[in-house]
Amino acid sequence: MSVMSVDPLLAWRGEFPILDTCTYLVSHSLGAMPRRASTYLQQFADEWSSRGVRAWYEGWWEVGRTTGDLLAPVLGVRPGTISMHQNVTVAMAIIASCHSFEPPRNRIVMTDLEFPSNMYLFEGFRRYGAEIVYVKSPDTMRTDLQALLDAIDERTVLVPLSYVLFKSAYIQDAAAVIEKAHRVGARVILDVYQAAGTVPLEIERLAADFAVGGSVKWLCGGPGAGYLYVRPDLAPALEPGIVGWAAHAEPFEFARGAIAYADAPERFQSGTPNVPSLYSARAGYEIVREIGVTAIREKSLRLTRRLIDLAKASGFRVNTPEADDERGGSVIIDVPGAQAVADELIRREVIIDHRPGAGIRMAPHFYNTAEEIEHAMKVLVEVVSAR
Ligand SMILES: Cc1ncc(COP(=O)(O)O)c(C=O)c1O
């Protein structure tokens, strides 16, 4: 029996050239580039070259909406609810700018395991009256759900919440947080960056107020394609302060003074769309949609389980939850001198990364083989033993 008949997802390997050159286990950081991305980038260049300014009204101007609509089923949201931005930071800032931070409701509540740029951004909102509350976690693997729920109260405006933590791949209980936030009149910004493309998402069913993420990782979409979902019933009342002419209801009227907002999703747009990045992102979105995140997740659980078993059998501590329903797509393996170990693994063509205080991060995706998992662990054991 061929490998392909055992694992039909391996038929995709030919679409990702880098897989022929190394053991690529870093899709939590930069997903492999699909060949199709080159085709779309070439298409962009050809349109620019041959159509010039006419390309704007032949598809470029609407590219944010069309790209968002392509992504919508992967996030579990309806079409017309996603705008595209440079990155998560910009998308978060646009949402923050829709809110005021006047006491008594001026708190932004998050755990101390959020991605740092979420902290840096909201720290900056102290100048507008925001108070930032960090909920302490018991360790670097899990957050304290009860402490987070207790910290969300009538003083809370926003709760930025990673669906999957970047440092441990722990899946947080977003439903419980959203339920509590809504009970006290607060809103949740779900950061789905470490989930989208590897963990099935039902953002609309969860009733998340906002969701943000990017395309670099599991979506294999490349940089510059951040996305922002806004709950459709909430959107018409929101007035972003960080705004530009692409968010105007009639942008080509070039009206002066205060903006007349477009409907969503364009009302959350800033200026000129990032056309080449959105063309490149298309390839990954199409492939993830075609395979389906349910099939990707089933395989991810199988390969991450194998990684955990091998790591434990080799005597390593694993800083990722072992329960399937608590674990995203990466496995974090604690080794002494993780930075130097990571450098040596990469020198030996096992492409992974590391995070301070957590360990080596390995991330199988739909295109990886079981043999690659075995090989990466064998090399890890060799490198650690040789030190
Ligand atoms: C969970 C999470 N949120 C946010 C970010 C940062 O996103 P961006 O660089 O698009 O602002 C990352 C990047 O690794 C991340 O893992």
Where do you find CATH 3.90.1150.10 in the chain?
3-16+292-385
Does CATH number 3.90.1150.10 belong to domain 3-16+292-385? Answer: yes
pLDDT of residue 56: 97
pLDDT of residue 357: 85
The residue contributing the CA closest to ligand 1 atom 3 is: 115
What pLDDT digit, counting tens, does each position of 168-196 carry? 999 999 999 999 999 999 999 999 999 99
Of 174-178, 215-219, 277-281, 333-337, the one with minimum mean pLDDT is: 333-337
- The residue to mutate among 193, 353, 361, having the most atoms of ligand 1 within 8 angstroms of its beta carbon, is 193
What pLDDT digit, counting tens, does each position of 223-281 carry? 999 999 999 999 999 999 999 999 999 999 999 999 999 999 999 999 999 999 999 99
DSSP state at residue 171: B
Give the distance between the most distant pair of CA atoms in the chain.
69
pLDDT of residue 1: 47
- Answer whether 117 contacts ligand 1 (Cβ < 6 A): yes
Q: What is the DSSP string of 207-259?
A: T-SEEEE-SSSTT---SS-EEEEE-TTTGGG---SS--GGGBSSGGG---SS-
What pLDDT digit, counting tens, does each position of 191-210 carry? 999 999 999 999 999 999 99
Helix (H) / strand (E) element for 353: namely strand 353-355
Where do you find CATH 3.40.640.10 in the chain?
38-289
pLDDT of residue 325: 97
Question: Does the structure show a pLDDT above 60 at 2?
Answer: no
CATH class given for the domain over 38-289 = alpha beta
* Mean pLDDT, the chain, whole residue set: 97
pLDDT of residue 5: 59
Q: Per the confidence metrics, is the pTM higher than 0.85?
A: yes
* Ligand 1 atom with least separation from CA of 89: 11
